[in-house]
Amino acid sequence: MSWKESILDAFDVFGPASLAMISMTEAIIQPVPPDIVYIPMLLNDIGKVEVVLWLWFVVTVSSVIGSLIGYLIGERWGRSLIGKFGSAKHVEKIEALTVRYGTLGIFIAAFSPIPYKVFGWLAGMGGMDKRPFIAAGLAGRGLRFGLEAVLIGIYGNQAYDALMWFLDNEILLGVLIILGAGAAFMALRWWNSLQIEPQSES
């Protein structure tokens, strides 16, 4: 039995409540994505629009609630931990990042394989405004889980197999996205730093 099947068996008896629990805790601390439970539920209830909408609502809202708890953890204890193991400059840099890229960063993390929980902690440490934090989370998570529901509704088992492959490789994909974004940022900095030397008149 695979680890995914073990998780599904453990949570199957609780229905949407298990989906809410795993979705909320994943956004706080634990590593198992809610998609592992959510996608098979979609496949089982394919064609039942009301049930699918309810599952989408549960997984989206519970994930954002979990991220808000992660935000509060970062806000309450993150700064003190950085103070013990780092310098005040680290806190200042996190604050600058949340001001400049906070909303976009939360949206990307909520939609992509990049760890959503980490951005929640950082947003709390950096004191990001809660309203754009929640709005970006709802938009990103809602789009991610909504897209999964649409794909399952259209393609059925084919989409299920593709999405499960994606989840099996989610960590690798997340690392590749981060590396790609870093490379693009460095390339942009290099491009902007280029200076054109004036040509001397012959």
Query: SS3 sequence, 75-99?
Result: HHHHHHHHHHHCCHHHHHHHHHHHH
Domain ranges for the chain: 3-170
- Measured distance CA(115)–CA(118) in Å, rounded: 6
- Measured distance CA(199)–CA(119) in Å, rounded: 47
pLDDT, position 1: 47
- Measured distance CA(20)–CA(14) in Å, rounded: 10
User: Which tokens go with 104?
Assistant: 């976009």
pLDDT, position 72: 94
Contacts (Cβ under 8 Å, ≥6 apart) of 121: 70, 71, 73, 74, 78
- How open is the CA angle 19-23-26, to the nearest 5 degrees? 140
Mean pLDDT split into 10-residue runs, the chain, 202 residues: 58 76 91 87 88 94 95 86 62 72 84 83 88 94 94 84 73 63 72 60 54
pTM of the predicted protein model: 0.75
**Tens of pLDDT, residues 24-58:** 999 998 888 898 889 889 988 888 889 999 999 99
Contacts (Cβ under 8 Å, ≥6 apart) of 50: none
